[in-house]
Structure 1
Amino acid sequence: MASDKSKFWSVFSLVAALGAAAVAKKTLNTSWRAATGKNPPANPADPDVDLWEAVAWAAVSGTAIAIARMLATRKAANYYAKSTGHLPPDLRKDNQDADAADAPTT
């Protein structure tokens, strides 16, 4: 049964992340066209794309998509936790508390 919940979480979080990435990409494409009057670079590695444009697109799109995926996964984790009474297996307590962390050794 725990395996079923784990599989459910895997599929649920994947769908949430992919959906968020698709919405973010569409929003970014529209915003890029509005800001620059051009379509975003299809392949920033293409030498015909200006370097500033390739770097700007890579930075903006990478950051926005990563944030959208993270927010969607967090929202999905909250929904999962409310539905099951616990966090998904890969999001359970991970000892990030500063007091609980091991002191660095030199």
Structure 2
Amino acid sequence: MKTPLLYKLLGPAMAIPAGIVVKKLADTTWEKVRGYPPPKNPAAPGVSWPDALAWAAVSGALYAAGRLVAAAGAATVYEKITGSLPPGVNADSAA
């Protein structure tokens, strides 16, 4: 099944702002909790293992949540515009 152009455009249109919000949220939360900025490169010398692992866990969870919000938002907008669910999404998949 071919994915309609509208749905292909909605994905990035929802994902880009969600990504910006998630990055800001992750950075701000880290700085408030830890008192210093998150590691820009967790693999760099001088970054402790606890900081690298914590940053991986925090940023990974927030980015996964951001992807979920963007995908759900794109599907909702697509459905409102077209009156039907996007390709590959069906009402039975919620169970």
TM-score, with normalisation over the residues of structure 2? 0.85
Count of aligned residue pairs for this structure pair:
95
CA distances 1:9-48 after superposition (whole Å, capped 9, x unpaired): 1121112112101101101101111111111000111131
- Find the partner of 2:66 among 65, 68, 80: 68
Distance 1:88 1:31 in 2: 34
Letter in 1 for 2:71: T
Task: Give the conservation status (yes or no) of the 8 Å contact 1:17–1:70.
Answer: no
The residue aligned with 2:21 is 23
Contact map agreement 2:6 2:78 (CA 8 A) in 1: no
Specify every segment of 5 or more residues in structure 2 that has no aligned partner in the other structure, as ranges.
Answer: none
Q: Which runs of 4+ in 1 moved over 6 A?
A: none
Query: Identity of counterpart residues, as a percentage?
Result: 38
1:94 is displaced (CA, Å) by: 9.0
TM-score for both structures, normalised by structure 1: 0.77
Preserved contact between residue 15 and residue 67 of structure 2 (Cα < 8 Å): yes
Contact 1:18 1:69 in 2 (8 A): no
Note the residue ranges of structure 1 that are not aligned, 5 or more in a row.
99-106
Give the greater-gyration-radius structure (CA): 1
Matches of 1:95 and 1:45 in 2, distance apart?
A: 43
Three-state SS of the structure 1 residue aligned to 2:40 is coil
Aligned to 1:103: none
Taking CA–CA contacts closer than 8 Å with sequence separation of 6 or more, which of the two structures ends up with the larger relative contact order?
A: 2
